[in-house]
Structure 1
Amino acid sequence: MNIEPRTTKGLRLSTLLMGCSALIAFPALAQEQASDDAIVLDPIFVQTEDDSQTLVASQVTSASGLATDVLDTSASVSVVTAREITQRGAQTIEQVLNYTSSVVTDYYGADNRFDYFQIRGFDAYTYRDGLRVGASFGGMREEPYAFDRVEVVKGGNSTTFGVSDPGGSVNYVSKAPKQGKYGEAYLSFGSNSKKEVGFDFGDDLNDEGTLSYRLVGLLRDAEAEWDFSRDDETYLAASLAWRPTEMTSLVFSLDQLNRDSVPGGGGHPIGTDYEASRYFGEPDFNYRGMNRTTAALKFDHEFDNGLKLGVSARYTDVTSDFGYVYLDDRGNYAPGATVVDRFLFANDSAGNDFVINANLQYDTSFGAVESRSLLGVEFADSTEDSTSWWTTVTPMDYTNFSYTGGGYDLTAIAPYQSRRTEQTTKSIYLQQELTFNDRFIANLGLRHDKGETTQTNLFDGSVSSGEYGETTARAGLTYKVTPDLSVYGSYSESVVPASLTVEPERGRQLEAGVKYRPAGGRALLTAAIYDLTKHNMTVTNPTTLLEETIGESRVRGIDLEAKVDFYRNFSIIAGYSHLDSEIVDDGDGSNDGNELQFVPNNVGSLWVNYTLDGAGHRGDMVFGLGARYTGTMWFDNANTREGDSFTVLDASFSYDIRENTNLRINVTNLLDEKHVTGGIGANWYSPGRTISASLTRSW
């Protein structure tokens, strides 16, 4: 199972604590550069906006692959910056996305195997620095502290990154070296016996400032909110940037993520109201381990004729496993019954993935027309070995329940599936942007993906293979009414190659919207309406992880979002979405006309920060309060069981104890609201209240 022994944690934690104490002692290096000219000038390097200081982002790349002002982008894009992540104290990707319109999180409650979120009613694919990671459902849980920002693109857009669901996608932007000396180290303690230490620092390595480094890491020793649980993690990333000239940069990064946790609470019997911490699985068979190592390279060079070259590559090696016993009483549930069915589910997987993307961008103008063109190619190759077990376990009477007292030996249980999957994808894409008189901005995107998949049955050695070729398009038009106000309309297509036995999923979306950025960029207000359709929709059963196909589904909706940063004292993050989902054709007609599972009709959120300026010996204090509302939704596509609507409150408090020293307290689910978020065979409760206190020293 490749789980790291727990006996080493105390040593690792002590070592890292001492290391963090020493970080502040790193010396600063002067920055200067001599040129061949007679006059010595300091180098000028253009750096992107600092997401650690910004709440309202002005630039995005995820919508088209071209770095574009958010007002000029004919798509809905929400950016969660590092500042917002810190203010809200987000510890998971689901918490990062909690205050983003049209995003639904925690729809499977106390299941912690994956990052559970949907955008506009559909599971979302994820990317890291523009390179594919994969589906969030079934993938690794990411670490938010690793990222400067999280970009949420709403609506399918396969022309940009390739594989994408019609609801949208998420691009994680990794922390990279900056110029000059900077950093922070923190200690954190909280609910569920949480103890955490982390750091993020960097500096220049030469006097010229052309060589810089950055180190990011954390170590957490914690439990989850259920009995017999753990939630431990180690993350370490090192990156090196070389900028020999203003026109050239090369960044190399290496990171390692290790998680030692549990899959979740295993569910609670339907019709009961036990404490959410009550565990009905088996303590000796409850594990979730993940270990991932990633190496990445990014090269950019700008020629002096409007031409730019960009190359990004990443290699990933990952192993994961999980096993647990869960409740599933769909077979014989009856009101008043106290005996429920239990099942064992386990999976071991190991694989590697390589992806490389190279493109040329050419910027030019023709009179009053400005043109930006991006032509690129991408190659991806991955291999994964996966073995899964599933079997019945002795039913239990929850009124007289006791654990069996022993684990389960997987060598004595026949796996139901064991296979190796090898996939290769070759892609070519084109993005074209034309700006007329600084008012009309037209976007066109085309991409062709050709993939081949080979699956080997590791039971008998039999091999099956298949290939696909898909072309997707995107077109958009933006009109700048004023420099601060734009309206747009767009059409986009998406494609997801499901598997050998299931046809690729194809999506189409029409969208129209308006964006307003007043107050000199300190605020961004957006509104959008959309109509998206997904054909041959493949649904993954969250219990068995087996694929089930729905012929066609449709979601129509409206998104409203506001991010306002009134300079120093006041900021607001608000969002509202209305989603109208429908299963148009499920193949046999039994669910036609029903709503999609886990898609509420209404979702809304509001977060407010107020800063009380320091006076005398008292430093600044920041008070934050948030509310998240989720409307009723069905737990299955048959629409047989409906969940209640609920509202969750979150809060934060920050105090500058002294210069560069900050105390922060964050509370999620302030009132400890308990509700059922998933009801497939059992009750899956929402995450309970957690409190975290962090002491941070920055420089």
Structure 2
Amino acid sequence: MNRPQMRTANGALAMSRCIRTLLPLALLMAPMAHAATFDLPAAGLATTLGRIAQQSAREIVYEPSLVSGLQAPAVRGDMSTEQALSQALSGSGLGLDTTEGGVLTLKPLPSGTVNLGETSINARSLDSEEIGDTSYVVKRSRGGTKTDTPLVEVPQSISVVSRKQMDDQAVQDVSQAVRYTPGIYGEYTGSNNSREQFRVRGFSPYVFQDGLMLPYGESGQGSMSEPYGLQSVEVLRGPSSMLYGQSRPGGLINLTSKLPSATPIHQIQVQGGSHDLKQLGFDFGGPLDDQGEWSYRLTGLVKDSGTQVEHVDNNRNFIAPALTWRPNDDTSLTVLAQYQRDWGGTTEQYYPQKGSQQGSPWGHIGSDTLLGDPNYDQMRRESYQLGYLFEHHLNDTWTLRQNLRWSKVNIQNRSTFNNGYASATSPTLLRLASDIKRNIQIFNVDNQAQAHFNTGALEHTLLMGVDFRRNALDNDVVNGTFTSINPYSPTYNGSVSNQYVGRDMYQTQKQTGLYLQDQIKLDRWILTLGGRYDWAKSTSDFRPDRATPRDRVIKQNDEKATWRAGLGYLFDNGVMPYFSYSQSFDPTLNTSVSSTTPIFKPTEGEQYEAGVKYQPPGQDSFITASVYTLTQKNLTTADPLDNRNTVQIGEARSRGFELEGKAVLSHNLSLIASYTYTDSEITKSGYVTSAYTDKGYELPFTPRHQASAWLDYTLDDGPLAGLGLGAGARYTGVLWGSSAVSTVAARDRIQSGNVTVFDAAVHYDLGKLSSELQGTRVAVNASNLFDKDYVTACTNNTACYYGPRRNVIATVTYDW
């Protein structure tokens, strides 16, 4: 007898050979059935069945004639595979059978029976979805497309550091959170509590939170984010101006906030450790009423700590309340606020090369030596945030969003620092003093309209947006000289003299952008196209200072179109090769009061990238590999005819290869591994004299090679059940602190890097000992386990930075 032809909506789970060479242990992972977040537009029923099967790794068997010509409604929300199928089959006259082996089979319902679908679906807005709480692997993100898209379908290299990874590694700042992430290098100014700086593919990135820019300021001298208040850290590599407007070519960092939850959250965390750390954190959240219309999140932290530099404290108060109103399944409004206060001194010390990286006749300057003065130095930072995330589903096709935030940071950073040895035969260091008062404010609003629809065989996710951003900077700098110091036998209580106004300016920038993006699917092909146009207006008001004893106002208007395109093919086994092109646009504000300085053009970047992503269906793992070539134009550089002036003829190029694998190999074994190769070069420059040039040399703070690996294993049976061990290694290859090459030693670039440090962790679930201790976890983490003493970089022979020394943190966490 001829059996009817059956079709399966899920392909084989074969692993491609190139990916198998990276992470063969991924073959050990077994498919798991669990709840997932679906965001499928209305489409043909066969198409929707295929998407559900691919996302859930469940086999769905049916006769093609049963679904021919049938349409499925939109399927959105957190639900099991069975619930998603019931919603897709609603009104189709088809029902669902499940075999003992877990195979899902469609069948016609008896005449007169109507499939109403499951009603017990948690249809939370995707903006409030909590991701990465229990896994290192995050599979979905808004950062790369501003739509909730599986990362495997985004033709761009993106890494996401999950909440679990940050907890397991006991990170204390965002720089530590990205230590195991490819393509990004932080902490190149050492253990720095006054600012965070990063290099992504050789270039400095902007920092965003929930898709809106933060007031990190130029060179990072602005906000510093508290990682305990974050759900994840996204690193988008490559130009992203098409979605975010003003952006640099290497990429950007997007932090995601902890948001209100439909599930109750109660956590208390206590930490103590090196440098007399004492820290208390709390994280509460959940519904406020039985209907789930109101929910909240309240996260806070108090820290009292020293640092690896003597006489320098690092204290913090942090509070972040959030409230969500969800009057129905189609509408949500989340209001977020945040206050953070930091105070102490600064660990950013400028150590002379002789005595730190190199030997000296007088001994060694330790990484704990304060070159400033505890009676003069002080750092005060207060930051505020207030905003909201709004979303409304008009129907199965259209969704409207508006994200808005006002941010402000006030900083006073008063410090004295090294200015070189008094003479070649003297151990005494000359010192300068700086008193910086800075106020940075940013107002962001991003309006979006998103549509899911089909045109024939094409599935569209269309995004249209208008965003506006206003930045304001009030910067007042008073400089002077300070009493000299012998760093080999320091004494303090010095004094400042010869003070003068080094900079007094007020700068504003307004940027408005229109953008359009379409993510188009045809069978397994995924095409992403997007374009944007930006208008930027800036005003720089320089008030009298020592260089120019008069007011001067510089106005600047810029506009630019940017676009990106990407094409990928998603195989049934979860492999997606892709190719993409993208551009960046970043207005260059004039910071000079010289009458000969022109108005600069925006810097422009473009990138070509090709890569492969692999997300095995049903397995908690994600692997990416990418190659790229990236160019930035209109860099400012010295005028070859007069080095006192600045011209805009510079250009830089970066190209490289990045590899990352994250996997939960079993329920008690997780792995992270990454490798980065970066070949950077200054290709055009104004420095063309024989005494001083940077053309043909590497970008600063950009290691040629980076590699890292982290493994966490927990025993789940036997007398030691609940005991876990974590171990990691991080390698940083050779890098240079500047691009300048000179016959004058004081101006010549300095090499550092080629360093490997190790991290370790021990954790134990006390609930395995007694049910009365359920929810209690203790952990001890050690970064730089063997206390390697090293210099991260030297910008010149008077400014070297020590890397973070061994730091041990004990943590007790109680969840209920």
CA radius of gyration, larger in: 2
Quick one: which of 189, 199, 204 aligns to 1:118?
199
Measure how far apart 1:402 and its partner are. 2.5
Q: Hey, what's the Cα distance between the residues in 1 that align with 2:713 and 2:171?
A: 18
Is residue 628–residue 647 contact of structure 1 (8 Å, CA) maintained in 2? yes
Q: Which residue of 1 aligns with 2:541?
A: 456
| Offset at residue 325 of structure 1 (A) | 1.2
Residue number in structure 2 paired with 1:512: 610
Alignment pair present for 1:152 and 2:229: no
**1:446 aligned onto 2:531:** yes
**Mapped partners of 2:374, 2:728: distance in 1:** 35
Q: Is the Cα contact below 8 Å between 1:213 and 1:239 reproduced in 2?
A: yes
- The structure 1 residue matched to 2:459, chosen from 370, 373, 377, is 370
Q: What is the match of residue 486 of structure 1?
A: 576
Equivalent residue, structure 2, for 1:427: 513
Counterpart of 1:24 in structure 2 is none
Question: Of residues 775, 779, 782 in structure 2, which corresponds to 1:660?
Answer: 775
For 2:238 and 2:674, the matched residues in 1 are separated by 17
Output the CA distance in 2 between the equivalents of 1:71 and 1:86. 25
Residues 641, 549 of structure 1: CA spacing in aligned structure 2 closer, same or farther, 3 A cutoff?
A: farther
- Cα contact 1:427–1:450 (8 A) shared by 2: yes
Give me the whole-angstrom Cα distance separating, in 2, the residues matched to 1:686 and 1:433. 43
Query: Who is 1:294 aligned against?
Result: 385
Q: Alpha-carbon deviations, 1:577-602, whole Å to 9, x = none?
A: 01111110122332211111111110
Q: Deviations over 1:81-140 (max 9, x none)?
A: 101100111111110000000111211114432112111111111111011125562231
Aligned to 2:222: 139
Per the TM alignment, residue 344 of structure 1 is displaced from its structure 2 partner at its CA by: 1.5
Counterpart of 2:632 in structure 1: which amino acid? K
Q: 1:388, 1:547 → 2: CA distance? A: 22
SS at match of 2:804: coil
Q: Please tell me whether residue 269 in structure 1 is matched to residue 269 in structure 2.
A: no
TM-score, length basis structure 1 = 0.89
State how far apart, in whole Å, the 2-side matches of 1:550 and 1:323 are. 35
| Counterpart selection for 1:567 from 666, 669, 673 | 666
Deviations, residues 550-592 of structure 1 (Å, cap 9, x unaligned) = 7001111000100011131211101000111111012233221
Letter in 1 for 2:185: V
Paired amino acid for 1:94? S
Aligned to 1:55: 136
Q: Does 1:595 align with 2:678?
A: no
TM-score (structure 2 length as normaliser)? 0.77
| Pairwise CA distance, 1:457 | 2.4
1:373-392 pair list within 5 angstroms:
373-392=462-481
Letter in 1 for 2:736: W
Paired position in structure 2 for 1:689? 806
Deviations 1:521-557 (A, max 9, x none): 41111100000011123599xxxxx999770011110
- 1:340 matched to 2:429? The reply is yes
Checking the alignment, whether the CA contact within 8 Å between 2:683 and 2:695 is kept in structure 1 is: yes
Residues 96/464 of structure 1: CA separation in 2 closer, same or farther (3 Å cut)? same
Are 2:574 and 2:617, in contact at CA under 8 Å, matched by a contact in 1? no
2:263 to 158, 163, 180: 180
Secondary structure, in 3 states, of the residue corresponding to 2:167? Answer: helix
1:577 aligns with 676
The amino acid across from 1:472 in the alignment is T
Partner of 1:482: helix, strand, or coil? coil
- What is the rounded CA distance, in whole Å, between the counterparts of 1:400 and 1:215 in structure 2? 47
Aligned equivalent of 1:525: 623
Q: Which runs of 5+ in 1 are unaligned?
A: 1-38, 541-545
Q: Indicate if the aligned counterparts of 1:147 and 1:175 stay in contact, CA closer than 8 A.
A: yes
CA distance, structure 1, for counterparts of residue 618 and residue 450 of structure 2: 29
Residue 386 of structure 1 aligns to a residue whose secondary structure is: strand
Q: 1:471 aligns with which of 561, 570, 573?
A: 561
Matched, 1:646 2:737: no
How far does residue 333 in structure 1 lie from its aligned partner after superposition?
A: 7.2
- Alpha carbons of 1:388 and 1:478: their partners in 2 closer, same or farther (altered >3 Å)? same
Displacement after TM superposition at 1:155 (Å):
0.6
The secondary structure found in structure 2 opposite 1:268 is coil
The letter for the 1-side match of 2:340 is L
Aligned partner of 1:673 in structure 2 is 788
Q: What one-letter code is carried by the residue in structure 2 that aligns with 1:101?
A: P
- C-alpha contact 2:793 2:801 (8 A) present in aligned 1: yes
Counterparts of 2:269 and 2:122, CA distance in 1:
32
Higher mean C-alpha displacement, 687-696 vs 631-640: 631-640
CA drift at 1:406: 4.4
User: Which residue is 2:404 aligned to?
Assistant: 313
What is residue 630 of structure 1 aligned with on the other side?
732
* Number of the residue aligned with 2:122: 44
Distance 2:182 2:121 in 1: 41
2:181 is matched with 100
Separation of aligned partners in 1, 2:379 and 2:486: 26
Give the superposition deviation at 1:44: 3.4
Residue type of the partner of 1:560? L
Residues in 1 aligned to 2:617 and 2:786: alpha-carbon distance in whole angstroms: 35
**Does residue 620 in structure 1 map to residue 719 in structure 2?**
no
Give the Cα separation in 2 of the matches to 1:343 and 1:328.
6
Q: Give, in whole Å, the separation in 1 of the partners of 2:495 and 2:526.
A: 62
Q: Which one is further off, 551-560 or 372-381? A: 372-381
For residues 40 and 622 of structure 1, what CA distance do their matches in structure 2 show? 39
Look up the equivalent residue of 2:540 and give its one-letter code.
Answer: Q
Q: Are residues 337 and 511 of structure 1, via their aligned partners in 2, closer, same or farther at CA, if it must alter by over 3 Å?
A: farther
Is contact 1:663-1:696 (8 Å) kept? yes
Alignment of 1:401-412 (within 5 A): 401-403=490-492, 405-406=493-494, 408=496
Residue 123 of structure 1 contacts residue 137 of structure 1 at CA under 8 Å; is this kept in 2? no
Deviations 1:215-240 (A, max 9, x none): 00000000111111100001001110
Change beyond 3 A, Cα 1:399–1:697: closer
CA distance in 2, matches of 1:657, 1:547: 62
Contact 1:449 1:471 in 2 (8 A): yes
Separation of aligned partners in 1, 2:191 and 2:171? 17
| Cα RMSD (Å) | 2.3
Task: Decide whether the 8 Å contact of 1:44 with 1:246 is kept in 2.
Answer: no
1: distance between equivalents of 2:514 and 2:194? 34
Distance in 2 of aligned mates of 1:637 and 1:529: 24
- Contact kept in structure 2, 1:106 and 1:117, CA below 8 Å: yes
